[in-house]
Amino acid sequence: MEVVFCVKKCGISFKFTLEHAKNQSAMCRVNSRDGEDQTTSHSHRGSGGPNGSPIQRKRRRPVSDLQLIWGIDLQLIVDRCKDVGIWHMRRPAKDFDPDSLRSGLPKAVWSLEWAVEEGKGRVYVHCTAGFGRAPAVAIAYMFWFCDMNLNSAYETLTSVRPCGPNKKAIRAATYDLAKNDPWKEPFENLPEHAFEDIAPWERKLIQDRVRALLAPEK
């Protein structure tokens, strides 16, 4: 199952769509049952596939960016995205690997922030099942760029999409960005709830460091 999150801009809303179907040639599963939950108005989660139908449904909406967090060859989906004018960005992260998520979050969030600021449509973020990597990216984005603390961002997302993204990995990535001194204390030595919130100056520093990353590749 592929799950997509779209975050448009802070004040955040989530409108979730599930679709159930199978597509073996795509090396993925796409679901075809529809059901939606919404808390405000800007963000969407759904599924994607290279045979055209899920992506075509998204093409009927103003979609300009598709951000993939998936560790397999998705060339068929990439090609289909190009056909319908969707910008494709890939930020690989290993499933069930908190260290991989920790190291990959800054670039993934930068891709999302870049697309939100520069794009003219919706931004979809999806991983394999939508339980770990994709929601972690959306939560980190809200935490770093939307003036929310980690618990508020986490609860905002999980209240409409029950899932369990690794909160510790998000805290660790936050620590890496806020305290990148070579002599800093190892994150593992910090208190259990460290970096669930950040000071305004730390948030600004994190935003600057995320935005200083290279522009996302197509």
Spot the catalytic one: 6, 28, 81, 127: 127
Decide if 166 is inside a domain: yes
| pLDDT, position 81 | 81
Whether 148 maps to a domain, the answer reads: yes
**Which residues in the chain show pLDDT less than 70?**
1-74, 120-121, 214-218
Residue 32's pLDDT is 23
Instruction: Tell me if residue 81 is catalytic.
Output: no
**Residue 85 sits in a domain of what CATH number?**
3.90.190.10
Range of the domain at 154: 3-211
Q: Is position 36 within any domain?
A: yes
Q: Is the pTM for the entire model greater than 0.75?
A: no
CB-based contacts of 186, cutoff 8 Å, min separation 6: none
For residues 153 and 86, give the distance between their C-alpha atoms in angstroms, rounded to a whole number.
27
pLDDT at 62: 57
Q: What's the pLDDT score for residue 110?
A: 93
Q: How many domains, in total, are found in the chain?
A: 1
Instruction: Give the span between the Cα atoms of 63 and 196, in whole angstroms.
Output: 32
Give residue 33's pLDDT. Answer: 27
| Helices 167-178 and 150-158, packing angle to 10 deg | 140
Q: Which residues of 48-79 are buried (b: 16+ CB within 10 A; e: fewer)?
A: bbbeebbbebbbeeebebbbbbbbeebebbbe
Summarize pLDDT for 99-136 with one digit per residue, the tens: 999 999 999 999 989 888 887 667 888 888 889 999 99
With respect to residue 44, please indicate whether it lies within any of the assigned structural domains: yes
Residue 217 forms part of a structural domain = no
Listed as own residue / partner, the contacts of 114-117 with beta carbons closer than 8 Å and 24 or more positions apart are 114/215, 114/216, 115/64, 115/65, 115/67, 115/87, 115/89, 115/216, 116/7, 116/8, 116/9
Q: Are 119 and 89 in contact (CB under 8 A)?
A: no
**What is the predicted pLDDT for the residue at 56?**
53
Residue 218 lies inside a defined structural domain of this protein: no
